[in-house]
Chain A
Amino acid sequence: MGSRGTAAGNLTLAVSNTRLRSAVLPASAPTDAGTHALSANDVSVTYQSLRGKHIAVDNVSMTLRPGEFVSILGPSGCGKSTFLSVVAGLLPASGGEVSVFGETVSGPRKDIGVVFQQATLLPWLNVINNVLIPVKALRKSDRDYTQRAHELLELVGLSKFFKYYPNELSGGMQQRVGIARALIHDPNLLLMDEPFAALDAMTRERMSLELQDIWQASKKSVLFITHSIPEAVFLSDRILIMSPSPGRFVKEVVIDLPRPRTVQTMSSGEYAALCGEIRKMFDHLG
């Protein structure tokens, strides 16, 4: 894993890339796992706290097909971010198993890109060097990736800002740098942990549109965590609805709104109906 010889310099982000790769990967994993960008089987996470055992994530299972955009939607504290940490290899599961492209996750992986709730840029590095962090951390020559970093900044609309420092950028711009950073090492799976939660409503809406474009251009598989119903409906192919304490998936909603979705989509009746339907589900959850 990780040692893919993709020409980092070009950002063709080929449509069939992920599919091709998952086909090439050895099918050592259980039956159909090889075809999934991500599969989680009965994942549980329990904490030992002063009040006793706390179940944050309870027997959660899901799959993500290559190139698919799936959101996990739930209220704050329902365990969705915890689940994402398990998928990212940052937190060991207390039970169950996660595999990414057929390989069991046992720690952080080099073929995953993560976008966090906070932009988490290093304030002492300028934008381009922040984008290059994953590459430098993997001790790869960043010279090979500089061109790609510029192209990614172009993709997120920040090509002119590559020499700026994070504190000179707005929250939305910082988060876009975070997205470019998550894509620099050409990961096949992108994990996004409420990436727009810290942004104001208007910036948020624009970021949703931009993320859709970025996703369509890059054809990455995306697992997106959010507590915003409109955001989830707008972006996703499928939404997994998570209920709190203990966190588990209670419903799956397939969003078949035509793509590319636009500002018009946001004001369409179909869109409103889907949002309403999901809102009702949460009402029933209490």
Chain B
Amino acid sequence: MSDRVSSIVYPVLTLLLLLVVWQLAIDVLKVPDYILPRPLAVLYSLKVGYIDGEFWPHFLFTLRSTVTGYVIGCGCAIVVGAILAESRTFEKFVYPYIIGLQSMPKVALAPLITVWFGYGFASKVVMVALICFFPLFVNTVVGIRQTNPALINMMRAFSAPTWYTFFRVKLFAAAGHIFAGLQISIVLSLIGAVVGEFVASSEGIGWLIQASLANFNTAQMFAGLISLIFIGVVGTRLVQFLHNRLVFWDRGTANTAAA
């Protein structure tokens, strides 16, 4: 079997095996539905959700707040990271606070954010942006500062203005690190969205999972989880693809990022 085929077939076999074990375990151990749903029940819940359409508004709500927050958070992280990497003065002013903020679990802010930004879309976006800011921010700073000094020296020798060296050398040199941060932030942004919905919301996949608790609808919880996995995997793959495409000279780093 060729590598390409086996890399698709083997995981599918794993999944089938898992489903069989799952189904057997329920039958043999007589696990009630509200503890662990049968695989088919999860599939049915997904069908009701996406084909009959009940889940769509929630899916889109979570997707929208995740993507919006991700873009805002990552944008800020790159800009602030770049400024901090370039300006020692700026670093001195803000660095202690950034460290403090970083060591705080961001999810603990969720209730406050709800107070400030309400129950709707805005508070989710803020939560997501906040939680995906830090890893990318740190990666941006490290990436820019790790630019090979020989390259910077070379640019100086050829009388390149500082801003030119920044945009044409340092940002490119940091690209591998930035993409690694973008990949980590994808997963974190989903956490942010779900936590935001857990705390206060009336829509979204996170809310759906929590609402399923009321009637122990575990099949719907699983369906929600699978939806979140789907968003996470597609997002990560997309960033990986862009990483390979855009940072073509540094492919080694593309698939090693923790995601």
Interface of A toward B, CB cutoff 8 Å? 88-90, 108-110, 112, 114, 116, 118, 120, 122-124, 133-134, 136-139, 165-167, 185
**Contacting B157 at CB < 8 Å: which of A88, A118, A124, A138?**
A88
Question: Once the chains are docked, how many angstroms separate the CA of A137 from the CA of B172?
Answer: 15
Interface of B is mostly: helix
User: What are 5 A-B pairs at a CB distance below 8 A?
Assistant: A112-B157, A124-B172, A124-B175, A124-B249, A185-B158
Which segment, of B24-32, B106-114, B148-156, B203-211, faces chain A?
A: B148-156
B160 touches A137 (CB 8 A): yes
Interface of A is mostly: loop
Chain B 216-259 near chain A by CB (<8 Å), digits 1 or 0: 00000000000000000000000000000001111000000000
Interface size class, chain B: 20 to 34
Chain B residue with the shortest CB-CB distance to A185 = B158
B159 touches A138 (CB 8 A): yes
Question: Once the chains are docked, how many angstroms separate the CA of A185 from the CA of B158?
Answer: 9
A108 touches B156 (CB 8 A): yes
B154 touches A114 (CB 8 A): yes
B97 within 8 A of A: no
B164 touches A137 (CB 8 A): yes
**With contact pairs A120-B151, A137-B164 given, residues A108 and B249 touching in the complex (Cβ less than 8 Å):** no
**With contact pairs A114-B154, A118-B150 given, residues A109 and B172 touching in the complex (Cβ less than 8 Å):** no
A123 touches B158 (CB 8 A): no
Chain B 150-189 near chain A by CB (<8 Å), digits 1 or 0: 1101111111110011001100100100000000000000
B172 touches A116 (CB 8 A): no
Interface centre among B158, B165, B249, B250 (most CB of A within 10 A): B158
B156 touches A120 (CB 8 A): no
Nearest chain A CB to B150's CB is how many angstroms away? 5
A137 touches B249 (CB 8 A): no
B250 touches A123 (CB 8 A): yes
Question: Once the chains are docked, how many angstroms separate the CA of A122 from the CA of B175?
Answer: 13
Nearest chain B CB to A98's CB is how many angstroms away? 14
Question: Once the chains are docked, how many angstroms separate the CA of A134 from the CA of B169?
Answer: 13
Chain B residue with the shortest CB-CB distance to A2 = B159
Give the residues in chain A near B157, CB-CB below 8 Å: 88-90, 108, 112, 114, 116
Give the residues in chain A near B249, CB-CB below 8 Å: 123-124, 165-167
B169 touches A122 (CB 8 A): yes
**Contacting A116 at CB < 8 Å: which of B154, B161, B164, B250?**
B154
Question: Once the chains are docked, how many angstroms separate the CA of A124 from the CA of B176?
Answer: 12
Give the residues in chain B near A133, CB-CB below 8 Å: 154-155, 158, 160
**With contact pairs A124-B249, A167-B249 given, residues A137 and B155 touching in the complex (Cβ less than 8 Å):** yes
B161 touches A137 (CB 8 A): yes
**Contacting A90 at CB < 8 Å: which of B153, B168, B248?**
B153
Nearest chain A CB to B50's CB is how many angstroms away? 42
Give the residues in chain B near A112, CB-CB below 8 Å: 157
B172 touches A108 (CB 8 A): no
Give the residues in chain B near A120, CB-CB below 8 Å: 148, 150-151, 153-154
**With contact pairs A122-B172, A124-B172, A124-B249 given, residues A108 and B158 touching in the complex (Cβ less than 8 Å):** yes
Interface centre among A108, A122, A123, A137 (most CB of B within 10 A): A137
Give the residues in chain B near A118, CB-CB below 8 Å: 150
Nearest chain B CB to A174's CB is how many angstroms away? 13
Give the residues in chain B near A88, CB-CB below 8 Å: 157
7 further interface pairs, Cβ-Cβ under 8 Å (given A114-B158, A120-B148): A89-B157, A90-B153, A108-B159, A124-B248, A137-B155, A137-B161, A166-B249
**With contact pairs A122-B172, A124-B172, A124-B249 given, residues A109 and B159 touching in the complex (Cβ less than 8 Å):** yes
Question: Once the chains are docked, how many angstroms separate the CA of A112 from the CA of B151?
Answer: 17
B158 touches A137 (CB 8 A): yes
Give the residues in chain A near B161, CB-CB below 8 Å: 137, 139
Q: Which 6 A-B pairs have the closest CB atoms?
A: A137-B160, A123-B249, A134-B158, A120-B154, A114-B157, A108-B159
Give the residues in chain B near A114, CB-CB below 8 Å: 154, 157-158
Chain A residue with the shortest CB-CB distance to B159 = A108
